[in-house]
């Protein structure tokens, strides 16, 4: 009997839970995915690479002796400090501030949203300026205020940022802002060692020297069960692999890739997958990527990238046949990015909806099984179409 996508989501998001790189959850997910591909009869290849294994239990912050909620920014070094707080709410204030021996409190215009990692290929200049100023001024620690009420994001998530830092909820930020010059105590009991993670590749051979790449990332950010982002995408991929493995006599091969470290990778061009890709970009007929779908209150979306007009029209027709799927503008992120920027036609299945991604609220209980089944059907139709056509059909002929 075929495994339903929802059962894969249950296994990955509920039984395993958080799958951040370098954690036991990440390894358990890799193992689960490997077994699922093997069970479907596919040859599996492991592509390991090193990563930080970071954790920080029980971060503690006290304002005037009172405990306040704070969570360590991902990859923050450990610290134990008692220093005056220095509130900052503009780039100009940061430029002129003397932060030596202080705890910098970043709020307002300095934390409109997460600050991009230093090496991130799409980083805004302004984010880089803020990070460089902090590094030059070396405060004892940095507290970033979460600008959105009721969410649980981290403002800094950068393996290369070496100043201890935490994010605090908005209400804690407000309390801290009124304590300028007073001491705060901050304890981040973080640990970071050398770790490892791996992409998992599985193959369905075809007669022609061409392949379709079907991919989804299985890692998550810290402390989220990652049900829609992206246990759901992996679940759709695994269900699709099981279904397509039953179809014999394939013309175009299929390579399934369960990517790791999508969430914290600032430099996809350094990704071991792209560095060791056996067939070049020119031998890939198309890429089907799934990321962030399935929340019951969301709408499944389809975007296409870099394909021929015929490929786009077929994708659009398949979408229109499913009233629950909306069209969305191409979005430059996730695992399709490297492919379409190298001329490979891509379809990305995602969702528009509630902002639960990267939070503890991205729960299995909010995944709609039918949305996943429908995505598998759509992608199976697209895969069948790609197999029936000339391998050049999907590609833009002007290169
Ligand atoms: Zn994702």
Encode the chain (399 residues) as per-residue pLDDT tens digits. Answer: 889 999 999 999 999 999 999 999 999 999 999 999 999 999 999 999 999 999 998 899 999 889 999 999 999 999 999 999 999 999 999 999 999 999 999 999 999 888 999 888 888 899 999 999 999 999 999 999 998 887 778 999 999 999 999 999 999 999 999 999 999 999 999 999 999 999 999 999 999 999 999 999 999 999 899 999 999 999 999 999 999 999 888 999 999 999 999 999 888 888 999 998 866 899 999 999 999 999 999 999 999 999 999 999 999 999 999 988 999 988 888 899 999 999 999 999 999 988 889 999 999 999 999 999 999 999 999 999 999 999 999 998 754
CA distances 108 to 153, 303, 342, Å, are: 16, 34, 38
Coil, strand or helix: which one is 32? helix
**If you measure from the C-alpha of residue 310 to the centroid of ligand 1, how many angstroms do you get, rounded to a whole number?**
28
Q: Are 97 and 86 in contact (CB under 8 A)?
A: yes
Query: Which class for 276: exposed (0-12), middle (13-18), buried (19 or more C-beta within 10 A)?
Result: exposed
The pLDDT assigned to 278 comes to 65
**If you measure from the C-alpha of residue 106 to the centroid of ligand 1, how many angstroms do you get, rounded to a whole number?**
27
**If you measure from the C-alpha of residue 104 to the centroid of ligand 1, how many angstroms do you get, rounded to a whole number?**
31
**If you measure from the C-alpha of residue 220 to the centroid of ligand 1, how many angstroms do you get, rounded to a whole number?**
7
Q: Are 145 and 190 in contact (CB under 8 A)?
A: no
**If you measure from the C-alpha of residue 78 to the centroid of ligand 1, how many angstroms do you get, rounded to a whole number?**
27
Spatial separation of the C-alpha atoms in residues 399 and 144, rounded to whole Å: 45
CB proximity list for 48: less than 8 A, separation 6 or greater: 196, 197, 198
- The three state secondary structure string of 37-57 is HHHCCCEEEEEEEEEEEEEEC
- The three state secondary structure string of 91-102 is HHHHHHCCCCCC
**If you measure from the C-alpha of residue 263 to the centroid of ligand 1, how many angstroms do you get, rounded to a whole number?**
7
**If you measure from the C-alpha of residue 114 to the centroid of ligand 1, how many angstroms do you get, rounded to a whole number?**
16
**If you measure from the C-alpha of residue 239 to the centroid of ligand 1, how many angstroms do you get, rounded to a whole number?**
18
**If you measure from the C-alpha of residue 229 to the centroid of ligand 1, how many angstroms do you get, rounded to a whole number?**
5
The pLDDT assigned to 399 comes to 45
CA distances 311 to 6, 290, 322, Å, are: 29, 18, 17
CB proximity list for 381: less than 8 A, separation 6 or greater: 318
Q: Would strands 190-204 and 183-188 be described as parallel, antiparallel, or unpaired? A: unpaired
**If you measure from the C-alpha of residue 373 to the centroid of ligand 1, how many angstroms do you get, rounded to a whole number?**
19
**If you measure from the C-alpha of residue 146 to the centroid of ligand 1, how many angstroms do you get, rounded to a whole number?**
21
**If you measure from the C-alpha of residue 176 to the centroid of ligand 1, how many angstroms do you get, rounded to a whole number?**
33
Q: Are 144 and 170 in contact (CB under 8 A)?
A: no
Token reading at 302 = 């389809």
Helix axes 232-245, 24-39, angle to 10 degrees: 20
**If you measure from the C-alpha of residue 307 to the centroid of ligand 1, how many angstroms do you get, rounded to a whole number?**
23
Integer-rounded Cα Rg, in Å, for the chain is 23
Token reading at 92 = 């100009």
The pLDDT assigned to 57 comes to 82
**If you measure from the C-alpha of residue 396 to the centroid of ligand 1, how many angstroms do you get, rounded to a whole number?**
27
Token reading at 115 = 């600050």
**If you measure from the C-alpha of residue 280 to the centroid of ligand 1, how many angstroms do you get, rounded to a whole number?**
25
**If you measure from the C-alpha of residue 231 to the centroid of ligand 1, how many angstroms do you get, rounded to a whole number?**
9
**If you measure from the C-alpha of residue 136 to the centroid of ligand 1, how many angstroms do you get, rounded to a whole number?**
33
**If you measure from the C-alpha of residue 334 to the centroid of ligand 1, how many angstroms do you get, rounded to a whole number?**
6
Could you list which residues have their CB under 5 Å from ion ligand 1? Answer: 229-230, 291
**If you measure from the C-alpha of residue 232 to the centroid of ligand 1, how many angstroms do you get, rounded to a whole number?**
10
**If you measure from the C-alpha of residue 262 to the centroid of ligand 1, how many angstroms do you get, rounded to a whole number?**
7
**If you measure from the C-alpha of residue 38 to the centroid of ligand 1, how many angstroms do you get, rounded to a whole number?**
24
**If you measure from the C-alpha of residue 388 to the centroid of ligand 1, how many angstroms do you get, rounded to a whole number?**
30
């Amino acid at each position: 009997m075929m495994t339903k996508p929802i059962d894969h989501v249950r296994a990955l998001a509920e039984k395993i839970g958080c799958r951040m790189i370098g954690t036991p959850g990440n390894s358990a997910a890799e193992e689960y995915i490997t077994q699922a591909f093997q069970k479907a009869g596919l040859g599996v290849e492991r592509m390991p690479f090193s990563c930080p294994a970071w954790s920080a239990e029980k971060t503690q912050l006290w304002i005037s002796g009172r405990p306040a909620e704070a969570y360590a920014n991902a990859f923050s070094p450990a610290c134990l400090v008692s220093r005056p707080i220095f509130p900052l709410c503009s780039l100009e204030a940061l430029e002129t501030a003397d932060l030596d021996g202080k705890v910098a409190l970043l709020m307002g215009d300095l934390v409109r949203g997460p600050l991009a990692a230093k090496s991130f290929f799409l980083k805004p200049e302004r984010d880089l300026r803020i990070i460089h100023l902090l590094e030059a001024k070396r405060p004892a620690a940095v507290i970033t205020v979460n600008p959105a009420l009721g969410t649980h994001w981290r403002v800094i998530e950068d393996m290369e940022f070496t100043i201890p830092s935490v994010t605090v909820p908005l209400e804690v930020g407000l309390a801290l802002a009124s304590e300028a010059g007073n001491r705060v105590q901050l304890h981040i009991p973080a640990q970071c060692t050398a770790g490892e993670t791996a992409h998992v590749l599985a193959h369905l051979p075809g007669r022609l020297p061409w392949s379709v790449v079907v991919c989804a990332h299985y890692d998550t950010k810290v402390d989220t069960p990652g049900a829609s982002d992206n246990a759901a995408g992996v679940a759709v991929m695994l269900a699709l692999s099981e279904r397509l493995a039953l179809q014999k006599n394939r013309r175009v091969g299929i390579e399934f890739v369960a990517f790791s470290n999508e969430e914290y990778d600032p430099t996809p061009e350094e990704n071991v997958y792209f560095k060791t890709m056996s067939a070049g970009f020119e031998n890939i007929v198309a890429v089907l990527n799934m990321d962030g779908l399935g929340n019951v209150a969301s709408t499944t979306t389809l975007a296409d990238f870099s394909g021929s007009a015929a490929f786009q029209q077929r994708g659009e027709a398949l979408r229109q046949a499913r009233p629950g799927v909306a069209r969305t503008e191409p979005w430059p992120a996730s695992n399709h990015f490297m492919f379409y920027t190298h001329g490979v036609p891509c379809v990305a299945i995602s969702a528009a909806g509630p902002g639960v991604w990267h939070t503890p609220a991205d729960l299995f209980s909010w995944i709609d099984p039918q949305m996943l089944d429908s995505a598998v059907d759509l992608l199976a139709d697209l895969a069948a179409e790609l197999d029936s056509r000339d391998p050049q059909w999907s590609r833009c002929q002007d290169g």
